[in-house]
């Protein structure tokens, strides 16, 4: 029986197409805010925070602006006032109803920041609180694990990057063309992943172990964090999401026959060679390495691999998480878990 999570994974091409078509015309609004700011502060929790990691790397690597992740407790618990003049605060929430995120965006505005919201909740408190609200077009998402709301957030963050002057080939127009390729590429990737003989192989191997390490770097790092989160919340396995640079500083000691590594990478870009080298190191230590993306180079270095999107590195995360989503959904069902309603979780999470 098909899970709701699997059905919503399949809705992503259309959700992405609607979102990209709706948000690309907003780049002038974002450019206007960009002219009045010099750095970006991302405000988020959970899957949205993993999307923010992508946003941070995109902004820093392609617009030359400093970007940071907010600590909402500074606003909500410590209640400290900071000088945020010259800051563009971008709050990300699927529902737009998480009180902590709304409160932190209000705090950022009161501290002098200009404000943007990224949310699937039109008319939500978060959308109402922001100067510019980027409303994603994911439609209703029923399964608790975020899939289409996550990828449409990435699309919105890509548009923010373009609005802030990302140095991608062809500028804003060329970047828009890159984004418009994403929905068809995601549809192709869904079909390829489900047909891949590596999918059941990796599922069976992961069903035998208590956990895994998930690693990537740079633009792909947020994907590694999101995949680790999905494994934890939907499959109840221990999963550690790490940059491969951090992994090599000590935690790689946990990678062994009972703790495989899932390695994510775009098919091109400056972090691919390091990911391939890590796969070889993992294999040399007698552990299993499973690749997601990374093209033929990563596939050759891994025990098994799932395909990645054929997209420029800066847009690759919009597709790169998709084989991971399919892997998690299959693994949850293999373990006898309903992926739609993980224990202890709700669709909207309120934090203090």
CB 121 within 8 A of CB 133: no
Which DSSP string do the residues of 307-328 spell out, in sequence order? ----S-TTTTHHHHHHHHHHHH
Active-site residue, 347 included: yes
Residue 342 Cα distances to 51, 108, 135, 236, angstroms: 21, 33, 27, 8
Nearest of 296, 319, 302, 287 to residue 213 by alpha carbon: 287
Nearest of 313, 202, 299, 206 to residue 267 by alpha carbon: 313
Q: What is the spatial distance between Cα 69 and Cα 284, in angstroms, rounded to a whole number?
A: 35
List helix spans (H) across the chain: 4-10, 12-23, 27-35, 46-62, 72-76, 99-110, 125-129, 148-163, 171-195, 198-206, 221-235, 244-247, 272-284, 295-301, 317-334
Phi, psi (degrees; rounded to nearest 5) at 83 = -85, 105
**Residue from 148, 230, 232, 347 carrying the catalytic annotation:** 347
Q: What is the spatial distance between Cα 147 and Cα 272, in angstroms, rounded to a whole number?
A: 25
CB 31 within 8 A of CB 165: yes
Q: What is the spatial distance between Cα 292 and Cα 294, in angstroms, rounded to a whole number?
A: 7
Region label for 22, one of left (φ > 0), alpha (ψ between -120 and 50) or beta (otherwise): alpha
SS3 63: coil
- Residues acting as catalytic residues: 347
């Amino acid at each position: 029986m098909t899970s709701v999570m699997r059905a919503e994974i399949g809705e992503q091409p259309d959700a992405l197409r609607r979102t990209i078509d709706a948000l690309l015309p907003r780049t002038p609004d974002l450019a206007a805010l960009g002219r009045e700011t010099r750095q970006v502060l991302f405000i988020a929790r959970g899957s949205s925070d993993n999307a923010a990691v992508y946003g941070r790397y995109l902004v820093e690597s392609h617009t030359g602006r400093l970007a940071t992740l907010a600590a909402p407790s500074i606003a909500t618990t410590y209640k400290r006032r900071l000088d945020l003049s010259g800051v563009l605060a971008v709050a990300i929430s699927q529902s737009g109803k998480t009180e902590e995120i709304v409160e932190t965006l209000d705090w950022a505005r009161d501290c002098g920041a200009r404000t943007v919201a990224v949310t699937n909740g039109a008319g939500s408190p978060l959308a109402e609180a922001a100067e510019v609200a980027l409303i994603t077009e994911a439609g209703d998402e029923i399964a608790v694990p975020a899939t289409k709301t996550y990828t449409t957030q990435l699309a919105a963050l890509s548009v923010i990057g373009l609005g802030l002057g990302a140095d991608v080939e062809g500028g804003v127009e060329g970047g828009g063309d890159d984004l418009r390729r994403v929905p068809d590429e995601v549809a192709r990737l869904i079909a390829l992943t489900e047909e891949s003989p590596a999918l059941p192989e990796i599922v069976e191997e992961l069903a035998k172990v208590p956990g895994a390490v998930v690693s990537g770097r740079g633009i792909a790092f947020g994907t590694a964090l999101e995949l680790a989160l999905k494994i934890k919340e939907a499959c109840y396995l221990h999963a550690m999401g790490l940059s491969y640079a951090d992994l090599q500083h000590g935690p790689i000691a946990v990678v062994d026959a009972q703790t495989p590594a899932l390695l994510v990478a775009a098919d091109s870009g400056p972090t691919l060679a390091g990911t391939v080298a890590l796969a070889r190191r993992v294999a040399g230590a007698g552990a299993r390495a499973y690749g997601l993306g990374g093209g033929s180079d990563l596939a050759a270095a891994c025990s098994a691999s799932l395909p990645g999107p054929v997209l420029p590195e800066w847009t690759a995360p919009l597709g790169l998480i998709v084989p991971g989503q399919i892997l998690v959904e299959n693994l949850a069902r293999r373990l006898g878990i309903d992926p739609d309603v993980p224990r202890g979780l709700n669709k909207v999470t309120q934090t203090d």
